[in-house]
């Protein structure tokens, strides 16, 4: 997997606090009023209490309820589509999406859930936003849905061949006698992913209590095969007699398994955070070459020890007065992913 993340440290004075950045979900949806565009919560239950509404068009409240069914999810970020004052507008527009991406610049989260079928232009807007953030070593993935056709499936696969999408939902689920919409199914699948560690594959992952339509039965053989072969998500039976449903293939449009994408992103984000911790928010402390190498060794030891990766090799070359070229090779279950990282830093020679 190739990329060129670029990090520039230009923040206000102070020491970077240690904050939980694991499995933080950001939801784009309309909420009960237009009082905010961006809001973060350290506890999803607080978000549910504050965003409670009887307005069925403000579907963000329902999405929070679905997400909270996974007890492992705590941190959540809300990006609000609701605009207007006396009469609310709940729609997703290009202008609203652009404003949200502006709000999310330099914000650290793991999964961006946009439970809409995005237009080609909106997908491109997301890609530009994601690529710019990735260059700053801010790595995350999108969960969304499509009503699949060959053209849509293949177009997403081509546009996001270098990464940026975790899940493209194609098939609505049912659970506890409730039929989820495709939008709600995006949130359900987001909860599944955010509920476990990054190094867990979802290929053949059993969806507890889920029933409903099966991808192979819902679409033509041609469309089904395109879903499987281009990194969109299909569900099928593990046990048809007992109605046990599983994810068929958790490949992403980059054709990496979801867990490989998430572990890559975990390593990138960890490098960024440790560099920020080392130099301080105002870049007041020097980062030395030995210090950066020490950071990489600590990351390697941590994630090899946890079993997320089997090895992390790196080379560090000075390519300018204040710029270093860092090449990382991540070995995960004997699958080697290489990505180049250009870091713009003040590096002390001593």
SS3 state of residue 229 = helix
What's the sign of the alpha-carbon dihedral 180, 233, 94, 8?
Answer: positive
Place of tokens 């990282």: 341
Q: Are 34 and 164 in contact (CB under 8 A)?
A: no
Query: Domain boundaries in the chain?
Result: 25-256, 259-348
pLDDT at position 337 is 55
Q: Are 299 and 314 in contact (CB under 8 A)?
A: no
CATH number of the domain at 259-348, please?
A: 3.30.1300
- Average pLDDT by stretches of 10, the chain with 350 residues: 36 37 92 98 97 97 97 95 95 98 97 99 98 91 98 98 97 94 98 94 95 93 98 96 94 93 90 78 65 85 89 74 67 58 49
Annotate 138-158 with DSSP letters as a single string.
---EEEEE----HHHHHHHHH
Contact partners, residue 209, CB within 8 Å, separation at least 6: 175, 176
Tokens of 188: 């359900």
Instruction: Spell out a b/e string for 29-57, using b for 16 or more CB atoms within 10 Å of the CB, else e.
Output: bbbbebeebebebeebeebbeebeeeeee
Number of Cβ within a 10 Å radius of residue 287: 20
Among candidates 330, 333, 326, which has minimal Cα distance to 137?
Answer: 326
Q: Are 253 and 157 in contact (CB under 8 A)?
A: yes
pLDDT at position 283 is 58
| Consecutive H or E run containing 14 | none
Phi, psi of 142 (to 5 degrees): -100, 140
CA of 140: how far to CAs of 28, 165, 166, 174, 328, in Å? 15, 8, 9, 28, 18
Helices (H) and strands (E) in the chain, counts: 10, 16
Among candidates 122, 177, 116, which has minimal Cα distance to 143?
Answer: 116
């Amino acid at each position: 997997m190739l990329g060129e993340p670029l990090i520039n440290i230009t923040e206000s004075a102070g020491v970077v606090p240690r904050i939980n950045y694991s499995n933080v979900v950001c939801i784009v949806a309309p909420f009960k009023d237009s009082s905010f565009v961006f809001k973060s919560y350290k506890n999803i239950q607080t978000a549910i209490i504050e965003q409670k509404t009887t307005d069925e068009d403000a579907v963000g409240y329902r999405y929070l309820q679905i997400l909270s069914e996974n007890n492992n999810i705590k941190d959540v970020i809300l990006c609000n589509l609701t605009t207007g004052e006396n009469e609310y507008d709940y729609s997703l527009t290009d202008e609203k999406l652009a404003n949200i991406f502006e709000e999310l610049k330099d914000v650290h989260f793991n999964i961006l859930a946009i439970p809409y079928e995005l237009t080609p232009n909106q997908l491109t807007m997301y890609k530009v936003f994601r690529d710019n953030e990735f260059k700053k070593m801010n790595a995350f993935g999108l969960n969304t849905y499509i009503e699949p056709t060959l053209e849509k499936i293949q177009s997403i696969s081509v546009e996001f061949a270098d990464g940026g999408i975790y899940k493209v939902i194609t098939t609505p689920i049912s659970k506890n006698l409730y039929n989820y919409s495709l939008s709600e199914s995006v949130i359900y699948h987001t909860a599944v992913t955010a509920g476990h560690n990054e190094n867990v594959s979802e290929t053949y992952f059993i969806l507890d209590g889920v029933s409903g339509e099966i991808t192979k039965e819902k679409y033509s053989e041609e469309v089904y095969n395109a879903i499987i072969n281009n990194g969109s998500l299909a569900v099928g039976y593990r046990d048809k007699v007992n109605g046990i449903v599983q994810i068929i293939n958790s490949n992403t449009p980059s054709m990496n398994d979801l867990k490989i994408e998430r572990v890559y992103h975990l390593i990138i984000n960890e490098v960024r955070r440790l560099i920020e911790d080392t130099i301080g928010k105002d870049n007041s402390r020097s980062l030395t070459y030995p210090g950066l190498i020490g950071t990489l060794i600590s990351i390697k030891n941590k994630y090899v020890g946890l079993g997320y990766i089997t090895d992390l090799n790196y080379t560090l070359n000075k390519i300018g007065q204040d710029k270093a070229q860092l090449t990382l090779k991540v070995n995960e279950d004997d699958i080697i992913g290489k990505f180049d990282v250009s870091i713009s830093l003040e590096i002390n020679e001593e």
